[in-house]
A and B are shown apart, each in its own frame.
Chain A
């Protein structure tokens, strides 16, 4: 019997070896030294990056690029399994919420030497963008390719019917006590099932047909498209040492007051209950079906809102808050190189090209995202104008420098695991905003254990 067991074992080992050998073939030897594999998740950006790859190959005949696109969720799990099995793409699109962890685990190649060697001018990018890709360890991990910010997308047929002017929409004020003129506008925009508006007598807040404000979720730890700007104009910061937070402030009264006001909109009938908002396919679908007066969202959603044919969508500025100005989160993507790539030079050449004005002009002209290179921005503005968008509200805070970064952190996944349920409990009235003090303690506990 021992013989057969050994045979079995051998057979098992042999079988195990087959996939790993095959993986090696895919990863290294089958491709030439100049053939780079590049991943992105946004299908809307595939055409322009295909165009970029063509131009890149014309300029550098020794290199070529194969682009693969996977949806957001698949993208990250495939990437992680790629890291483990040594089959990750040479270059991939990185996100502020993900790359710090990959960098901490040694999966992203620092590009400082390449940047120094090739004298890459980091001054061509929008202010502050390039520095977002310097990790907590002080090394640079990517060159920025685009940026995004937030505004309100509003249903202009509803605002006209409510008698709200474009000027009023673009000069809203906000404070955490009474919500300022912003909340007055929401009242005017909200209509109950009998056609009474939120600021009219007899308004029935339990049977609302059109809510003034829509939202997609409770915002988790970043609140990027839900509460981040209210908290910021209330003078709140995510953490000590932004963006590489070592201590978070989710228990700060400036934050809990903001959230208390925000969820108060539900009680007032100006915003749907959390269960109802979460029970939808997504916030844009409901907006497209005429259920919301306005919804905050990021610039990357312009294409999606543009496809909503039943409603006429326009953009409004974020409100001015107690600190006396508007603020928006400014986040962006960058192209990063996998540390395990066997084609470092080719990969760097592609990253450098994507970070250049030549490539970003191509991206800008497609009118899908805002390019990171400042000089390419007018082309993007023109392209958006052609599809009927006046994107000024997105760009104003960026040009004025009134922006704050995405709360990047190598422990982002752990922070999210605490903050998402905590914020959901508050928004569904199962816990008070003061419960965030406890959540904040849990978050800081995680950070202190892992640092």
Chain B
């Protein structure tokens, strides 16, 4: 598997082929029926996504305290954001969270998926691995909050038995974000592993057989065959989990609420605080829009850099 071929459309362009002639205009005869079929989904999309997004975009140019009418103030909110140290701190904290969360989670998920793929295909094992994902976020956060309590938590009791001093998981500003990230890794890694596992099953057995014939070691096979062929699935998983990761909110809301000091004031929590406890809805909308832009750019960059549309298996 040394030769890598690109998927047809990209190759055509890279070879300077002329673009395909425009397809004939299709008759609009099916339009009405088509409209009926897509209407329910479109309705939901417009009402719950498009409209709130447009309204949010509009509100980001206003001063709006929720309880009185919005007042247009141009780019003031964006200007304020540049000088708001809390905003920059929130972005930094969020990025720290995403790096720890996605990094750890992806490595663990691929590891678990590989173990499942190589050792067992038991449905029971899959179900157990998925179990944390089935527990509600808030419940997971609360249970861990209790277990990680400095003085009465079970985790610190265990640490005490093996001679480690108790750790202030949520209270220490250096530990708080890794702790929150760790909890979410615990909850999501099983689910992510299943996605990766599904990806592994799409890799045809003959490439492994070929590798075995060539005398490749397990380690080499993983790096040279499994990972490259898994790339399209991994990119999809990365994009989806990273967008979710940027939107970390509930774990913080039920445990540290932004503290200690500003250590866990992630961007979503800061937006929430501004909007619903400080009634600064215009400013909150502006930050939400910036977050939207950041996510769009991050996703695009990921798709580009990792050539998500191409498979090495062509």
Q: Which residues of A contact B (CB under 8 A)?
A: 4, 8, 11-12, 15-16, 76-77, 80, 83-84, 101, 105-107, 272-281, 285-286, 289, 291, 413-414, 417, 420-421, 424-425, 428, 430
Min CB distance B203 to A, Å, is 43
Choose from B47, B150, B273, B277 the contact partner of A279 (Cβ within 8 Å). Answer: B150
Roughly how many angstroms separate A80 CA and B281 CA in the complex, as a whole number?
12
Write the nearest CB–CB distance from B264 to chain A, whole angstroms: 11
Residue pair B260, A428 in contact (C-beta under 8 Å): yes
- Complex Cα–Cα for A370 and B69 (A): 40
Which of B31, B149, B262, B276: most chain A CB closer than 10 A? Answer: B149
Interface string of B243-268 (1 = CB under 8 A from A): 00000000000000001111000000
Q: Which residues of chain A have C-beta atoms less than 8 A from B150's C-beta?
A: 272, 275-277, 279-280
Say yes or no: is B170 at the interface (Cβ < 8 Å to chain A). yes
Instruction: Assess whether B43 is in contact with A15, with CB atoms less than 8 Å apart.
Output: yes
Residue pair A286, B279 in contact (C-beta under 8 Å): no
Contacts of A425 in B (CB 8 A): 261
| Complex contacts, A11 vs chain B, CB 8 Å | 39, 43, 46
Bound-complex Cα distance A8 to B279 (A): 33
**In the complex, A4 Cα to B261 Cα: how many Å?**
53
Identify which of residues 97-155 in chain B touch chain A, using a CB-to-CB cut-off of 8 Å. Answer: 145-146, 148-152
Cβ of A280 and Cβ of B152 under 8 Å apart? Answer: yes
Is the pair B273, A280 in contact by a Cβ cutoff of 8 Å?
A: no
List of A residues within 8 angstroms of B175 by Cβ: 275
A101-B279, A275-B168 as given contacts; A289 in contact with B152, CB under 8 Å: yes
Contact, CB under 8 Å: A291 / B260: no
Q: Which of chain A's residues have a CB closer than 8 A to the CB of B42?
A: 8
A77's closest neighbor in chain B, by CB?
A: B276
Can you list 30 pairs linking A and B with CB atoms under 8 Å apart?
A4-B31, A8-B42, A8-B43, A12-B43, A12-B47, A15-B46, A15-B47, A16-B47, A76-B277, A80-B66, A83-B66, A105-B68, A272-B150, A273-B171, A275-B168, A275-B173, A275-B260, A276-B150, A277-B171, A279-B149, A279-B169, A279-B170, A279-B171, A279-B172, A280-B149, A286-B152, A289-B151, A289-B152, A414-B278, A421-B262
Query: Quick check: is B222 within 8 A (CB to CB) of the other chain?
Result: no
Report Cα–Cα, A272/B39, bound state, in Å: 60
B168 contacts A105, C-beta separation under 8 Å: no
A64 to chain B, nearest CB (A): 29
Given A15-B47, A280-B152, A414-B278, A107 and B67 touching (CB < 8 A)? yes
What is the chain A residue whose CB lies nearest that of B45? A12
Bound Cα distance from A291 to B153, whole angstroms: 13
Instruction: Give the nearest-CB partner of A76 in chain B.
Output: B277
Least CB distance, A248 to chain B, in whole angstroms: 17
Q: Which residue of B lies closest to A281 (CB)?
A: B149
Complex CA–CA separation, A101 to B145 (angstroms): 32
Closest A residue to B277 by CB, please name it: A413
Contact among B31, B39, B67, B260 with A83 in the assembled complex (CB-CB below 8 Å): B67
Q: How far is the CA of A274 from the CA of B46 in the complex (A)?
A: 48
CB distance from B144 to the nearest CB of A (A): 11
> Shortest Cβ distance from B276 into chain A, in angstroms?
6
In contact, A281 and B277 (Cβ under 8 angstroms): no
Q: Is B53 an interface residue (CB 8 A)?
A: no
A189 to B312 alpha-carbon distance, docked (Å): 69
Given A84-B67, A279-B172, A280-B150, do A430 and B277 touch, yes or no (CB 8 Å)? no
**Which residue from chain A places its CB closest to the CB of B165 in the assembled complex?**
A207
> Is B88 an interface position by the 8 A CB rule?
no
Within 8 A of A (CB), among B202-240: none
By a CB distance below 8 angstroms, the chain B residues around A277 are 150, 171
Q: Which residue of B lies closest to A278 (CB)?
A: B171
Q: Contacts A12-B46, A15-B47 hold; do A84 and B66 have CB atoms under 8 A apart?
A: yes
B65 at the interface (CB under 8 A from A): yes
Please name the residue on chain A nearest to B28 by beta carbon. A1
The residues of B that contact A278 with a CB separation of less than 8 Å are 168, 170-171, 259-260
**B51 within 8 A of partner (CB):** yes
Task: Report the minimum CB–CB distance from B38 to chain A (whole Å).
Answer: 10
Minimal beta-carbon separation of A272 from chain B (angstroms): 8
Measured between beta carbons, the chain B residues less than 8 angstroms from A106 are 67-68
Bound form: Cα–Cα A107–B65 in Å: 12
Known: A280-B171, A413-B278. 16 other contacts (CB 8 A): A11-B39, A11-B46, A76-B277, A77-B276, A105-B66, A107-B67, A272-B150, A273-B171, A275-B172, A276-B150, A279-B149, A279-B170, A417-B278, A428-B173, A430-B173, A430-B261
Known interface pairs A279-B170, A281-B145, A281-B149. Does A8 touch B261 (Cβ–Cβ under 8 Å)? no
Tell whether, in the assembled complex, residue B171 and residue A274 are in contact, meaning their CB atoms are under 8 Å apart.
yes
Name which residue of chain A comes closest to B35, CB basis: A4
Find the residue from A107, A285, A417 having the highest chain B CB count within 10 A: A417
**Complex interface: chain B residues within 8 A of A274 (CB):** 171, 260
Shortest Cβ distance from A105 into B: residue: B67
A275 to B168, CA, bound (A): 6
State the CA gap A77–B253 with chains docked (Å). Answer: 13
Residues of B within 8 A of A105 (CB): 65-68, 279
- Please provide the 10 A-B residue pairs with the shortest distance between their CB atoms, ordered closest to farther: A279-B171, A278-B171, A275-B171, A275-B168, A279-B168, A279-B150, A105-B67, A275-B172, A424-B261, A413-B278
Distance from A285 Cβ to chain B, minimum over Cβ atoms (Å): 6
What residues on A are CB-neighbors of B66 within 8 Å? 80, 83-84, 105
Partner of A421, one of B51, B65, B261, B279: B261
The residue in chain A whose Cβ has the minimal distance to the Cβ of B65 is: A105
Chain B residue nearest in CB terms to A430: B261
Q: How far is the CA of A175 from the CA of B148 in the complex (A)?
A: 36
- Measured CB to CB, the closest approach of chain A to B129, in angstroms, equals 29
> What's the nearest-Cβ distance from chain B to residue A246, in Å?
19
Chain A residues in 8 Å Cβ range of B65? 105
User: A84, A274, A275: which has the most chain B beta carbons within 10 Å?
Assistant: A275
CA distance A77 to B278 in the complex (A): 11
In the complex, what's the smallest C-beta–C-beta distance from A92 to chain B, in angstroms? 15
CA distance A281 to B148 in the complex (A): 9
For A280, what are the chain B residues with a Cβ–Cβ distance below 8 Å?
A: 149-152, 171
Of chain B, the residue at the smallest CB distance from A107 is B67
Tell whether, in the assembled complex, residue A276 and residue B168 are in contact, meaning their CB atoms are under 8 Å apart: yes
Q: Taking the nearest CB of chain A, how far is it from the CB of B141, in angstroms?
A: 12
Residues in B whose Cβ lies below 8 Å from that of A424: 259-261
Q: Which residue of chain B is the closest to A106 with respect to CB atoms? A: B67
Which residue of the partner chain, among A273, A286, A289, A291, contacts B168 with CB atoms under 8 Å?
Answer: A273
In the bound complex, do residue A417 and residue B273 qualify as a contact, i.e. CB atoms below 8 Å apart? yes
CA distance A97 to B171 in the complex (A): 25
User: How far is B68's CA from A107's CA once the two chains are assembled, in angstroms?
Assistant: 10
Give CA–CA (A285, B166) in the complex, Å.
17
Of chain B, the residue at the smallest CB distance from A14 is B43
